[in-house]
Each structure stands twice: as structure tokens, then as C-alpha cells.
Amino acid sequence: MDLSFSPEIETFRARVRHWFETEFPKDIIQKYKAGLPLTTAEVRQSEMALGSKGWLATAWPAEYGGPGWGIEEQYVFDEELERAGVPTVTPMGVVYVGPVIYTFGSEAQKARWLPGIRDGSVGWAQGYSEPGAGSDLASLQFSAKLENGTYTLNGHKIWTSAAQHADWIFLLARTSQEEKKQQGISFICCPIDAPGVTVKPIITIDGNHVLNEVFFEDVKVPEENRIGEAGMGWTYSQYLLGFERTSYARIGGKRAMLRHIREVASATPDGGGASLIEDAGFARRLTAAEMAVDGLEMTVFRILSALAQGGSPGDAASTVKILATSTHQQITELMVDAAGAFAQPHFSFWASQNDPGGSPGRDMATYFAGRAQSIYGGTNEIQRTIIARKVLNL
């Protein structure tokens, strides 16, 4: 089987690489590579740089402003983006809500929201989870009451990634009480600076501020902020989750981490002696991780081909989610082992702030952040249940 790309795709790769090396803001890459948190202005700058080139909404159909790339161009582009050290695109707008808007939204909603998502000037957050509704998301209590064309929103969302950088939040809200709890949920968009919205940070074990709690107290939004039909939010949310779960693959980033580990493990220790790569057990684990990335890549290709034929990622996205996140954890465990005794004493928020070279302080933070991957987007236990029920029909 020949898995190499055609000369045309390799020319495309060279063009993308050249643009990242010469045109993309260098200070943003430097800061991101050093593991330092970006400000809201820097997040916008980074995404608008891609958007101005038409390279942000890379998977969107051409009729909504996508670049009209095939799956190979999209794949190579993602690889080059990660290779260059460009910050990961905040997925909540372009990967999650964008496809929901162009698939289920009205013409007015498409005209209102798609341009700002496509050019990177408007940030979005995802308001699904609540303190009592995570895996069992359909138990959500967040309420939206409609009166005279206006919804009044009340409730508490939690684990809301990047809400501190967002202009809008899309919400799953209960708009009616039905016998089946998946019914009666609607998909509603709200400006994050609307009166009555409060965003509070949650600092995670890696020392970073990515997560937030968002409180809503009698927040008013017009009925036209609801996407699609009332009570159909569950259907739209599941459609969105297919895109979310497929987006975790990040093959280029995984390959970059593996290269980094090989480099660190091949160095002669300060005191002399054998390098870690000469340890058969470590070398075997590293090779197993490299093979796992190859396997993941094949699975992603299969899903991308289905997408190219007009499908949605569907339940197969659960397979990618499990493979991608467990491989990421496998890799970050190797990273910490390669950093050896230096990993623990070097880990602190300030160490990663003051260590622009990256490792090992940053490796430890990457390891901690990676623990969350098997939780968000629906935990891996839940994905296994989806595979058992829907893919294997057990």
C-alpha cells in the first residue's frame, strides 16, 4: 500500500509551510511553543491571521467560505500547522458550532454568525456540561423560558473551555419538560457579555486557566438566537459531538512530541553512561506509541473519506476519540519518563512560565493536561458504550 502523497499535494505542503515560516506572526509561535498562555488579543490575532488567508474554516464547504480543499489538503494543512508550532485553533467556533449553524441555522443566522467564525474575529464557547450533567448530559437543568419572543436563561454551566476569550456561548437549555429527557432541549446562542452572565475561572492541575464556570441569572436573549427547532437541541448537539470527537486526532502534534522524546532520550546523560533509548523497555514503548499514531492516522483517513463523500463523522468518531486520547496519554507518559528525575522538581506553573525552552517543566504540564483528554468530549468509558451499542450493535 502506497501512502505517500502526490507531487501536487507535496507542492501544496511546501506552500503552506512557507506561509507559516514567513507570514504567520512569529511572536505568537514563540509564546505558544514556550507553553505560555495567550491573551485574548493574541488568540484573536492568531486565528485572524489564519482567517485572513482563508485558512481557518478549512473543513467548511466552499459555499460557506471554506477553501474547497479535499481531505488530503486538510490533513497536510493540519500537519503543517502543528509542525510550525501555530496555536491550536479554538475549536468551539470553527469546528463545533459553525457546522451546526450552516446545517441547521436559518439564512439570517448564517449571515450573522458565519463570517466572524470564518475570519477568526469572534470567539465562541461551548455550554453543555453542568454540575449535575456531564456523562448524563440529557439530565441538564439549565432553563430557557420563552415569553413574548424572548428567552430568559437561568442556570450554571461548568468546565467551559476558553469562555474567558469568547464573545458568544452556545448552550443546551431545557425549554420544556418532556417524558424523555433528551426531548425538550434547545440549542441557544448568547453573548457572553449579556447582563446576568458571570464567568469564573477554574485553574487546573497543570497550572493553566482554560476552564471556567459560567452563571446565568435572568439573562434575556431573543427567540431568533435559537438554532433550529425548539426541543431539537439534543439532535444538533450529537451532530456537533461527531465533529468534536474527530478533531482530537492531532496527528502532527503527536508526531512532533514523539520526535521530541526521541531527541531527549537519545542524549547522553549529564553524568555519562547509556542514553535512555538504549534501554530495550523504553525503546519498545516508544516504538509502540509510534505504531499507535500510524494506526490512528489510518482511522482518521477512513473518517475523512466518509466526510468527503458528504457524510458526518457519526459514531465512528468515538473510535477516534478513544484512540487519539489514549495515544496522547501514552506519549506524554513517555515524555515524563524521558525527562526523568528532572520532571517532578521542575514542575510548577512558574517553572513553565520561566522556561521558554519548554521541557521538562512544560512536559510535565502537557502530561497533566493530557489526563483530561479521556474525560472531555464525553469520557472514554461512555465512548466504549457508544461503540458497543451503536457500532457493534451489542
Ligand X SMILES: Cc1cc2nc3c(=O)[nH]c(=O)nc-3n(C[C@H](O)[C@H](O)[C@H](O)COP(=O)(O)OP(=O)(O)OC[C@H]3O[C@@H](n4cnc5c(N)ncnc54)[C@H](O)[C@@H]3O)c2cc1C
- Residue nearest ligand X by beta-carbon distance: 134
DSSP designation for 270: T
In the complex with ligand X, which residue's Cβ is closer, 18 or 390?
390
DSSP string, 285-326: HHHHHHHHHHHHHHHHHHHHHHHHTT---GGGHHHHHHHHHH
In the complex with ligand X, which residue's Cβ is closer, 76 or 192?
192
| Least distance from ligand X to the Cβ atom of residue 94, Å | 14
320-329 burial, b for 16+ CB within 10 Å, e for fewer? bbbbbbebbb
| Least distance from ligand X to the Cβ atom of residue 131, Å | 8
In the complex with ligand X, which residue's Cβ is closer, 26 or 200?
200
In the complex with ligand X, which residue's Cβ is closer, 74 or 379?
379
Nearest by Cα to 194 from 169, 171, 173: 169
Give the separation between CA 84 and CA 24, rounded to whole angstroms.
Answer: 9
In the complex with ligand X, which residue's Cβ is closer, 77 or 159?
159
User: C-alpha grid cell for residue 79?
Assistant: 500537519
Are the CB atoms for 123 and 89 separated by under 8 Å?
no
Residue 360: asked if its preceding bond is cis (omega within 30°), the reply is: yes
| Least distance from ligand X to the Cβ atom of residue 210, Å | 6
Q: What is the amino acid identity at position 361?
A: G
In the complex with ligand X, which residue's Cβ is closer, 261 or 369?
369
In the complex with ligand X, which residue's Cβ is closer, 85 or 378?
378
| Least distance from ligand X to the Cβ atom of residue 90, Å | 10
User: C-alpha grid cell for residue 320?
Assistant: 477516534
Are the CB atoms for 80 and 13 separated by under 8 Å?
yes
| Least distance from ligand X to the Cβ atom of residue 133, Å | 7
| Least distance from ligand X to the Cβ atom of residue 267, Å | 32
**What does the binding site for ligand X look like in residue numbers (CB under 6 A)?**
126-129, 134-135, 159-161, 211, 372, 375-376, 378-379, 381-382, 385
8-45 burial, b for 16+ CB within 10 Å, e for fewer? eeeebbeebbebbeeebeeebbebbbbbbeeeeebbbb
| Least distance from ligand X to the Cβ atom of residue 161, Å | 3
